[in-house]
């Protein structure tokens, strides 16, 4: 028996229950892992509330963790007991002391990446990688807008885009968060709770607008994000922290100058093993080179995941949050 957080029905943080579970022996193509650090992500909230359909009840949430391989399935090669590994994405089940997982979703951890750093950065950092290098390829001279820039993904986006030579404008919801984002290298930071961010972006860019907006807030920022774009600009809506944007007419894109809107998901961009290892590898290089620093702003015992969910949903966290098994 080991301990895990399980959800038996959709609802608030109180539905996260700390329970005993059995972990089977790994089958073909699988390994058993003992988790050493688990990453908290906003997507965990969508599944808890059943905004994204859960795999069935009860289920163990969690999509990001690091740990050590304790058993390998029959005939498996390329992975052995004692290997340090991390995962980011499906299958869900990271909120557990131990789990069985397909070996082909695991990323081997280099010596210079600690378990905690991996759990704090793999999912969020690979998301930043695909957004900046594949969804819209940011180059020197681009002007970009990053919403929720003090958050887990936001902080990584700001630093990575800065290192690419972009002019980075961030938004955040408090003065404390604004200071944090400035210290990470953002050129301008807007308090989108107290300021009109569209007007501020227009002022900062002398009316030209930005080439790309990375918007994880969704409903509350969607039209404003479109209004911040220069003609031919791209809006990447990659999250819905405030809810999903309402359906919109495609003519809104023509009206503002042939804009593009995309709704990327990390899972689609890392479906093949090659894409997964490329994204993880480029992230690890940025971390090792010090160009991206991932701050663990908050730590909670895994058994107290309820408190972690309350903090993330209540907009009280900055950077990454790690659950400690």
Cα–Cα distance, 145 to 187 (Å, whole number): 10
7 phi/psi in degrees, rounded to 5? -115, 125
Among 38, 43, 113, 323, binds ligand NAP (CB under 6 A): 43
Q: How far apart are alpha carbons 284 and 156 in whole angstroms? A: 12
Residue 167 or 320 with smaller CB distance to ligand NAP: 320
Stretch near ligand NAP under the rule CB under 6 A, chosen from 106-114, 194-202, 250-258, 307-315: 307-315
The Cα–Cα gap between 108 and 96 comes to: 19
* CA–CA distance, 234 with 253 (Å, rounded to integer): 10
| Binding of residue 315 to ligand NAP (CB under 6 A) | yes
- 100 forms bridges with which residues in the sheet? 32
Looking at 124, 129, 162, 211, which residue binds ligand NAP (CB under 6 A)?
124
* Beta-ladder partners of 102: 30
Count of residues near ligand NAP by CB under 6 A? 30
d(CA 313, CA 46): 10
* Residue 80: CB minimum distance to ligand NAP, A: 30
Residue 325 CB partners (closer than 8 Å, separation 6+) = 3, 35, 36, 37, 38, 96, 97, 302
User: How far apart are CB 201 and ligand NAP at their closest, in Å?
Assistant: 16
Q: Which stretch binds ligand NAP (CB under 6 A): 92-100, 110-118, 151-159, 202-210?
A: 151-159
- Closer to ligand NAP by Cβ: residue 42 or 160: 42
User: What does the DSSP 8-state code read for residue 12?
Assistant: S
- Binding of residue 150 to ligand NAP (CB under 6 A): yes
Of 98 and 200, nearer to ligand NAP (C-beta) is 200
Q: Which is nearer to ligand NAP, 79 or 324 (CB)?
A: 324
User: What is the contact surface with ligand NAP in residues (CB under 6 A)?
Assistant: 41-43, 123-124, 127, 148, 150-154, 172-173, 177, 216-217, 220, 238-242, 264-266, 312-313, 315, 317
């Amino acid at each position: 028996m080991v301990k895990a957080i399980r959800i038996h029905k959709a609802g608030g943080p109180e539905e996260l229950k700390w329970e005993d579970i059995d972990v089977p022996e790994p089958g073909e193509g699988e390994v058993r892992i003992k988790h050493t650090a688990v990453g908290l992500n906003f997507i965990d909230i969508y599944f808890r509330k059943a905004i994204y359909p859960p795999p069935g009840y009860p289920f163990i949430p969690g999509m990001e963790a690091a740990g050590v391989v304790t058993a390998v399935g029959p005939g498996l090669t390329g992975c052995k007991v004692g290997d340090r590994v991390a995962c980011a994405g499906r299958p869900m089940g990271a909120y557990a002391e131990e789990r069985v997982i397909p070996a082909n979703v695991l990323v081997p951890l280099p010596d210079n990446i600690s378990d905690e750093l991996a759990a704090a950065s793999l999912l969020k950092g690979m998301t930043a990688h695909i957004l900046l290098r594949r969804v819209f390829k940011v180059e020197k001279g681009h002007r970009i807008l990053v919403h929720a820039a003090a958050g887990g993904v936001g902080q990584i986006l700001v630093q990575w885009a800065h290192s690419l030579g972009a002019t980075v404008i961030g938004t955040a919801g408090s003065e404390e968060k604004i200071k944090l984002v400035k210290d990470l290298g953002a050129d301008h930071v807007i308090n989108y709770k107290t300021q009109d961010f569209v007007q501020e972006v227009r002022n900062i860019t002398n009316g030209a607008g930005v080439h790309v907006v990375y918007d994880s807030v969704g409903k509350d920022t969607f039209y404003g994000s479109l209004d911040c774009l220069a003609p031919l600009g791209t809006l990447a809506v990659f999250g819905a922290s405030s809810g999903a944007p309402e359906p919109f007419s495609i003519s809104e894109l023509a009206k503002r100058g042939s804009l593009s809107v995309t709704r990327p998901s990390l899972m689609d961009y890392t479906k093949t093993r090659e894409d997964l290892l490329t994204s993880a590898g480029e992230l690890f290089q940025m971390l090792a080179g010090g160009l991206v620093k991932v701050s663990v702003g908050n730590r909670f015992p895994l058994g107290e995941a309820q408190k972690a969910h309350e903090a993330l949903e209540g907009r009280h966290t900055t950077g990454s949050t790690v659950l400690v098994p």
